[in-house]
Structure 1
Amino acid sequence: MATVATVRRSSDPLLLAGALAGPVFFTSAITQMLTREGFDITRHPISQLATGGLGWIQITTFVLAGLGGVALAAGIKRTLTEGIGRRVVPIFVGIFGAGMIAAGLFTMDPEKGFPVGTSDAPVAEMSWHSVVHGAAAAVAFTALAVAAIVLTVRYVGRRAVLPAVLNGFAALVLLLPMSPDHMSIQIAVNGVVAFTWTTVLALSLRRIG
């Protein structure tokens, strides 16, 4: 009993940080979407908020959310001590967190009229940091999809139908190919699914830990 209590005390702050990553990310992003002149979610991905004079706000948001993902990975490792996924899930959630941090530190290019004063055309040639940003985000979402797939297998083995279905759905959404015509909306949807998944997982592990 003492061991269980010790694990809970050590993992609770980590899981709480993981649970808060999503709400922090979207509170910041939505506030910026509504207040920054010229931003249009149908044309500009959330990542473009990291450009311009106020870009530091979204950069910080990415980094904080990524640190929450890394904390969640550590919390999973301490809490999920048996069964399928106990080793793999923390690794891939940690990759997600690291990818979000990298996506914040390496920004995409201003384009399509944002920030205000930028040419309305798409960027002619992506900068190296924009390429790194895109790669980091892609790796992050793919890693989270892998973690969700592993948990789907875990829950199928335990005949837990609803968790299996929800994890499978999350993985499917995160792995859908990007549509060039609706990319910014799809990225936003992926973010909602990803951070909802991390929050639900963190809270469920806190409950059973």
Structure 2
Amino acid sequence: MILVGAVTAAIFPVVFALDGWTRPGYDPRRQPVSALALGPRGRVQTLNFLVAGTGTVMGAVGLASSQPWPAVAIGIVGCALIASGAWRMDPMRGYPPGTPDTTPDSFSPAHRRHDQAGAIVFGGFPIAAAVTALTGDDLPLRGTSLAVTLVSGFLAARFATAWENDAPDAGRWQRLFLWVAFGWLAAVFATG
């Protein structure tokens, strides 16, 4: 099960990167990965969330006997990824094409649930890395996890600020966070 977690963690960012680069009207520098779940090809990112979340939960279960506390934190992130796939964000800020280039005054219940799940993902990864840094048995992994705690926490905060201000680089900050977080997750599972 740990191998499934490592593979899905490695594949998740590759899928959203390729899908975003080839999606007409999508600007990966500005728009979040979640926007890829909208429009005619939306099922690609929806499936990417669901597969990554399921793989993360499976990897966490496999990790539980050797690293129980990191496994719990990682499992929570996996459940939030599944929820991110189950509930999509609302069209906004120019995506999908034809959508007004503004933020709506109100959001659907699905969008609010998606935001809640996203908050768990973006807060959960730095916490899971911190737990691994504090409780892990592998010294190099503990050091890497400490670095990932600091870097991913910084990137999550930068993304949140950029997103709230509709900054033109919000998508870039999110992608940096996701590449760091999922790279770390793949490494945890690979060494687990």
TM-score after normalising by structure 1: 0.81
TM-score after normalising by structure 2: 0.88
User: Given the superposition, is the C-alpha separation of residues 75 and 125 from structure 1 closer, same or farther in structure 2, using an over 3 Å criterion?
Assistant: same
The one-character-per-residue Cα deviations of 1:103-138 (angstroms, maximum 9, x if unpaired) are 111111111221111112222322221111111011
CA distance in 1, matches of 2:2, 2:72: 15
- The one-letter amino acid of 1:198's match is L
Q: CA deviation at 1:145?
A: 1.9
**Counterpart in the other structure of 2:130:** 149
The one-character-per-residue Cα deviations of 1:136-168 (angstroms, maximum 9, x if unpaired) are 01112322322211221235xx693x4333111
**Counterpart in the other structure of 1:126:** 107
Contact 2:34 2:45 in 1 (8 A): yes
**Counterpart in the other structure of 1:173:** 151
The one-character-per-residue Cα deviations of 1:4-54 (angstroms, maximum 9, x if unpaired) are xxxxxxxxxx11111111232122212211211011012100110001121
**Counterpart in the other structure of 2:178:** 191
What's the Cα RMSD here?
1.7
Q: CA deviation at 1:65?
A: 0.3
CA distance in 1, matches of 2:122, 2:59: 15
Contact 2:39 2:96 in 1 (8 A): yes
**Counterpart in the other structure of 1:164:** 142
Contact 2:20 2:27 in 1 (8 A): yes
Is 1:69 the counterpart of 2:56? The answer is yes
The one-character-per-residue Cα deviations of 1:159-184 (angstroms, maximum 9, x if unpaired) are 93x43331112112332322223432
CA distance in 1, matches of 2:37, 2:138: 43
CA distance in 1, matches of 2:149, 2:63: 18
| Matched pairs, number | 183
CA distance in 2, matches of 1:137, 1:164: 25
Contact 1:142 1:174 in 2 (8 A): no
- The one-letter amino acid of 2:141's match is P
CA distance in 2, matches of 1:132, 1:174: 23
- The one-letter amino acid of 2:184's match is W
**Counterpart in the other structure of 2:121:** 140
**Counterpart in the other structure of 1:105:** 86
1:34 to 1, 21, 24: 21
Contact 2:37 2:88 in 1 (8 A): yes
Name stretches of at least 5 consecutive residues in structure 2 with no aligned partner.
none
Q: CA deviation at 1:195?
A: 0.8
**Counterpart in the other structure of 2:76:** 95
Contact 2:33 2:171 in 1 (8 A): yes
Contact 2:69 2:135 in 1 (8 A): no
Name stretches of at least 5 consecutive residues in structure 1 with no aligned partner.
1-13, 81-85
- Calculate percent identity across the aligned residue pairs: 28
